Amino acid sequence: MSQSIYPKYMGKADWRIATPQSAPQILPVTVNQYPAIKKKLVIESQKISERKIHPTTILIHRGETKPIVEHLTIRSKKITIPKVFPAPPLMTRDNAKFNISYINKQRGYIGAGANDFAEDNAHNIWIASGNTLIKYDGFHYYLYDKKTGLPDLEELTLLYDNKQRLWLASNKGVYYLKNDSIYYLTSKEINFSTIACTKVQQDSNDRIWISTKQNGAICMDDKTIKIYDVNCGLRSNHIYSTLVDKKGNIFLGADTGVYEIAPNKLRLFFSKNKFRTNSFPSLYEDADGIWVGGFLSGFF
């Protein structure tokens, strides 16, 4: 977790001249030399089990997939100053493999848990905790909740985008914070203050993608939204995650499989017998291809 270099003083401080200091006492030092013994240890690690699968592929339609396009209206509301709590230094745990810095409830952490994280340009860590939002600067916790003007943030997920907006996507609506205001989104088709969200993401073109449980996948570009749901060919409106690959193809991890929206086709990959699930909350692209993670079924 990132921390500020210097603490931010919350109270009054004054300067005082220190008393004269004497030179440190010189103590005798004894050096003992011992022969070093080198021993090479072979670390045995578990091998990753791999198997080939051939998922069922359904071509839903050929040609362009046309989403619903709507204008987006945005309004803002000031939020009040959050309550500030001192943040004790992080503790360190060395398990011989990783040096882990951590904090828990017993040592001063103020949250009910930590569901998601985001880091802003000032290296503050934002933490989704229960129905609250916490900002951590390394020395203080700043608590944002209903008393500061935030709505109910059940099952909150976070994203800090390239336009310095902190997105709050929850089971009871999606909003974003910027400076000292919260921003509400409205459109003709969707009430963004009530939709149930599963994830908020940003693609390489700085577009915001919102995965929802009942409204499909929503793509936001400036003040325009595109809605990908059953109206444009999907078999379900329950979307867990989104990915726009290097070629511009759109992949949607859904409760019915993985959708690929290409310029000339829409198709669905699925198979309960080989995947063990058709719910895919994670999508990621690297040089080898696209990785897909499923509930209780590993990844492929």
Convert the pLDDT of each residue in 143-191 to its tens digit: 999 999 999 888 999 999 999 999 999 999 999 999 999 999 999 989 8
Spatial contact of 62 and 260, defined as CB atoms under 8 Å apart: no
In this predicted model, which residue has the larger pLDDT, 216 or 55? 216
Asked if the 73-186 domain carries CATH number 3.40.47.10, the reply is no
Mean pLDDT of 112-117: 91
Compute and round to an integer the Cα radius of gyration of the chain: 25
Mean pLDDT of 75-83: 95
The pLDDT tens digits for 18-46 are: 777 788 888 888 888 888 888 877 767 67
The values of phi and psi at residue 49, to 5°, are -80, 125
Query: Is pLDDT at 1 greater than 60 in this prediction?
Result: no
| Domain boundaries defined on the chain | 53-72+203-300, 73-186
Query: Is pLDDT at 260 greater than 80 in this prediction?
Result: yes
pTM of the full structure: 0.80
Mean pLDDT of the chain: 88
* DSSP summary character for residue 189: S
Q: Quick one: pLDDT band at residue 134, thresholds 50, 70, 90?
A: very high
Spatial contact of 132 and 158, defined as CB atoms under 8 Å apart: no
**Token pair recorded at residue 251:** 């992949």
**Token pair recorded at residue 279:** 């719910």
Mean pLDDT of 223-229: 94
Q: Rounded to an integer, what is the distance from CA 211 to the centroid of its chain?
A: 13
User: Using CA atoms, how far apart are residues 157 and 211, in angstroms rounded to an integer?
Assistant: 11
> Which pLDDT value is given to residue 36?
84
The values of phi and psi at residue 273, to 5°, are -70, -35
In this predicted model, which residue has the larger pLDDT, 11 or 164? 164
Classify each residue of 245-275 as buried b or exposed e, where b means 16 or more C-beta atoms within 10 Å of its C-beta.
Answer: beeeebbbbbbbbbbbbbeeebbbbbeeeeb
What is the CATH architecture assignment of 53-72+203-300?
Answer: 7 Propeller (2.130)
Mean pLDDT of 285-289: 91
> Which pLDDT value is given to residue 222?
82
Query: Is pLDDT at 127 greater than 90 in this prediction?
Result: yes
